[in-house]
Amino acid sequence: MDRILVTEKIAAEGLDVLRRGGEVDVKLDLDKAALIGVIGQYDALVVRSATKVTADVIEAGTKLRVIGRAGTGVDNIHVETATRRGIIVVNAPASNNIAVAELTIGLLVGLARSIPQAHASLQSGKWERTKFSGWEVRGKTLGLIGLGRIGSEVAARARAMEMTIVAYDPVVSLDRAEQIGVELLTLDDLLSRSDVVSLHVPLVDGTRNLIDAARIAKMKKGAYIINASRGGVIDEAALLAALEAGQLGGAALDVFSQEPPPADAAITHHPKIITVPHIGASTAEAQISAGSEVAEGVVAALSGATPRYAVNAPFVAPEAWGVLQPYLSLGRQMGRLICQMIQSPVRSYDLELRGELADIDSHPIRLAVLQGLLEASSPERITPVNAPLIARERGVRLTERTDPDAESYSGLLVVRVQTADQAHDFKGTVLRGEPHIVQADGYFVDFVPQGALLFTYHRDRPGMIGRVGTLLGGADVNISGMYVGRLAPREQAMMVLTLDEPASPEVLAQVEAEEDIQRSICVVL
């Protein structure tokens, strides 16, 4: 049974999910030495933000297959080392969406009606009704910079308040923006048209100080700005100067360039700035959802499936998930089959994604095939995470193309193996949700690629099946299924036997010694 170490407090719902994947030990407050001391016993590690999962911790985790972060940022995990070692890092990026979106709306209304200032005034014994005359958000233009998970949720809520919503996001498509009722603009147009600008971008090199003096100057005079994303995306000095000059009417901040800000920081004491101490994700629901989301990712990774939110493995869009999942398993099994069946040196692998596969993001399938091709011949553990790296190191060439024609199948995965003198074609599909190989080394067959399989390359003759069956029976090897693919009657053929247990080299030698059998091979998947 897999063992899972949890080093920080996560929601009970998350622990329940984890227990479905293995034996769970919760050890809070381990220091680094203690963590290094125990990590070698565990297959999975689950942390929040306090545990520093450094390179040496990961190196000591010789059995580790997955590291889970209950939350979004993975700054406390040395992802590069995890990737090199084939360890999947999963997080819970969607768990905070609603919490942050609702806080953003709260900050928006707080700005419009000066709620915090009015509250403070009343608490100090004053009754200043005229001072706190505000403005309505209805009919105002909200400019969202970043239209990802949180930006989209803010848009949905702002629409209900009858705002006009515009957005700038270099990645989001026009179709997607249309779907959520948002007009996509250039950044300059967004700045000049918005009454309120709200930031929902990650902090990366391209977004550091995204809102600086020059961009603030492009905003409407007296406009407002909200930041519940990351501190560094606003130049705080420029923001303070713009508020002083009256260029901006106010700002609301959940995040700061330095957290916590110094006690006397101007940014937390300015009368036109509403501040809260990075509480965007701090709701009971978000904590539960972070725990369950990360636990589901950890359990999926332990079971060999591709988790939905992996930091160092391909992201699979939720709408593609159902279609993709069985093909990931097919791709991996095809890779494993091919590397055992083709024993001549390989020049290249050509991957064709046909039919329904031609229209979806195929990157995860490519990784699954690579994983399968590499794993049998690698001393290190191969996962979709480190497969591209190892493939590059070994000079494995895998080209890729798509074709809408899938013969009579809805989707077809084709791998052509080019050896020095020959091409070997393998084709697979998904039937009733189950992977099937429908062509093996050029022969038309139909079998489920799992367990022990015996292949013979032989000349089609009467009695051939019986002879092989007798040999296997004599060695107490049970046959569970049989398929024959032949080029023409009494010509070259392939027999595929699914076995309850692998055939020994001695039995294979006996099979190969039979007349008209050129080669026999036992593959274990």
Interface positions, 466-505, toward ligand NAD (CB under 6 A): none
Q: Where are the alpha helices (DSSP H) in 251-347?
A: 284-302, 318-341
Instruction: Pick the closer one to ligand NAD by CB: 146 or 388.
Output: 146
Phi-psi region of 118 (alpha: psi -120 to 50; beta: other; left: phi over 0): alpha
Q: How far is 379 from 499, CA to CA, in rounded Å?
A: 27
- Of the candidates 113, 157, 278, 486, which one interacts with ligand NAD according to CB under 6 A? 278
**Site track 129-168 with ligand NAD (rule: CB under 6 A), x = hit:** ----------------xxxxxxx----------------x
**Look-up of token digits 């039979």:** 514
Could you give the CA distance from residue 299 to residue 7 in angstroms, rounded to a whole number? 17
**Please, which residue, 160 or 171, has the CB nearer to ligand NAD?**
171
The encoded tokens of residue 409 equal 């199948």
Q: Which 226-255 residues touch ligand NAD, going by CB under 6 A?
A: 228-230, 254-255
Of 40, 134, 202, 262, which lies in the binding site for ligand NAD, with binding defined by CB under 6 A?
202
Q: Which helix (H) or strand (E) holds 213?
A: helix 213-217
Phi, psi of 56 (to 5 degrees): -70, -30
User: Does residue 318 interact with ligand NAD by CB under 6 A?
Assistant: no
* Total residues interacting with ligand NAD, rule: CB under 6 A: 31
Least gap, CB of 202 to ligand NAD (angstroms): 4
Are 48 and 70 in contact by the 8 Å Cβ rule? The answer is yes
> CB of residue 148 vs ligand NAD: minimum separation in angstroms?
2
Helices assigned H by DSSP within 97-195: 97-113, 115-123, 149-160, 174-179, 187-193
Set 278, 363, 459, 461: catalytic member: 278
**CA dist list (Å): 443 to 395, 420, 439:** 28, 20, 5
From the list 61, 231, 261, 280, which residue makes contact with ligand NAD (rule: CB under 6 A)? 280
Note whether 458 and 490 are within 8 A (CB): no
How far apart (Å, rounded) are the C-alpha atoms in residues 314 and 422? 33
Q: How far is the CB of 282 from ligand NAD (least distance, A)?
A: 7
Least Å distance, CB 165 to ligand NAD, is 15
Residue 93 binds to ligand NAD (criterion: CB under 6 A): yes
Residue written as token pair 């095939």: 369
136/95 Cα distance (integer angstroms): 30
Site string for ligand NAD, 209-228 (x = CB under 6 A): -x-----------------x
Residue whose C-alpha is closest to residue 490's, from 461, 520, 448: 461
Say whether 278 is catalytic. Answer: yes
Q: Which is closer to ligand NAD, CB of 207 or CB of 429? A: 207
Strands 346-355 and 273-275: unpaired
| Residues 164-193: x where in contact with ligand NAD by CB under 6 A, - otherwise, as a string | ----xxxxx---------------------
- Shortest Å, Cβ 88 to ligand NAD: 19
Which one of the listed residues 259, 285, 434, 501 is annotated catalytic?
259
Residue among 202 and 481 whose Cβ is closer to ligand NAD: 202
By the rule CB under 6 A, 207 interacts with ligand NAD: yes
In whole angstroms, the minimum distance from the beta carbon of 393 to ligand NAD comes to 30
Q: Which residues pair with 352 in a beta bridge?
A: 401, 414
Query: Does the annotation mark 157 as catalytic?
Result: no
Nearer to ligand NAD, 146 or 485 (CB): 146
Please give the structure tokens belonging to residue 61. Answer: 């985790």
Which among 340, 362, 363, 501 has a CA at the least distance from the CA of 424?
A: 340
Options 230, 308, 366, 424, the catalytic residue: 230
Distance CA 296, CA 262 (A): 38
Closest to ligand NAD by CB, 105 or 472? 105
**Residues at the interface with ligand NAD (CB under 6 A):** 72, 93, 96, 100, 145-151, 168-172, 200-203, 206-207, 210, 228-230, 254-255, 278, 280-281
Point out the residues that are catalytic: 230, 259, 278
